[in-house]
Amino acid sequence: MSTGRVVQINVSRGGVPKTAVESARVSVLGLQGDAHRDTEHHGGPERAVCMYAMEAIEALRAEGHPIVPGAIGENLTVHGLDWPAVVPGAVLRVGEELLLQVTRYTSPCANIRPAFLAGDYARVAQKRHPGWSRVYARVLVEGAVRRGDPVRLLSESEASAALAATPR
């Protein structure tokens, strides 16, 4: 079991960087107040929430990248999770209500170039640098998220029980 917390909640009217808000309501289509310019590659039920680890941001900063939370478009910046275990299929409980299931790793695009030294946005590409990617998640149970909320990576049995209890 891995438990962390929400360090920052990020939204934008489209594009990056996303800016911090204290809380947001999360529906099957994503965070209230968040929008996407490119709906072919971002948003929708299978990419409703984008997440990234604060530890990865800190490590990238130590490499000299000017990245900050929200700079590469994540909605939830989290700290304390076993990030290598946050893989497609993983289920996370965020706060009291919100239940997310990771659907895929994100593909970085040129729009996040300013967050990287020499514009090397491929630094967060899963294929080139496994374990450094952001992830997309679907919303299994809608709810509110607040800065500081606990985030828990559910065990396989907890995830199975949560999925069985989720209305389809």
Of the chain, the percentage scoring pLDDT greater than 70 comes to 95
Coil, strand or helix: which one is 19?
strand
Query: Tell me, what amino acid is at 110?
Result: A
Instruction: Say what the pLDDT of residue 113 is.
Output: 96
Q: Quote the pLDDT of residue 162.
A: 84
Q: Name the average pLDDT for the chain.
A: 93
Range of the domain at 161: 2-165
Evaluate whether 54 touches 72 at the Cβ level (below 8 Å): no
Top pLDDT among 42 and 93 is at: 93
Give pLDDT tens digits for 95-105.
999 999 999 99
Question: What does the alpha-carbon distance between residue 143 and residue 42 come to, in Å, rounded to a whole number?
Answer: 21
**Terminal C-alpha separation, the chain:** 26
Segment 12-32, tens digit of pLDDT = 998 899 999 999 999 999 999
What is the total count of domains within the chain?
Answer: 1
Cα 166 to Cα 160: distance, rounded to the nearest angstrom:
10
Residue 132, SS3? coil
Contact between residue 81 and residue 153 where contact means Cβ atoms under 8 Å apart: yes
Reduce the DSSP state of residue 78 to 3 states and report it: strand
Token digits for 136? 């997309």
**Selection from 27, 31, 29 nearest residue 8 by Cα:** 31
Helix (H, G, I), strand (E, B) or coil at 30: strand
Q: What's the pTM value of the predicted model, to 2 decimals?
A: 0.94
Residue 162 tokens, joined? 């949560």
Map tokens 């899963």 to a residue.
Answer: 126
**3 state DSSP class of 158:** helix
Kindly report the CATH number assigned to the domain that includes residue 71: 2.40.33.20
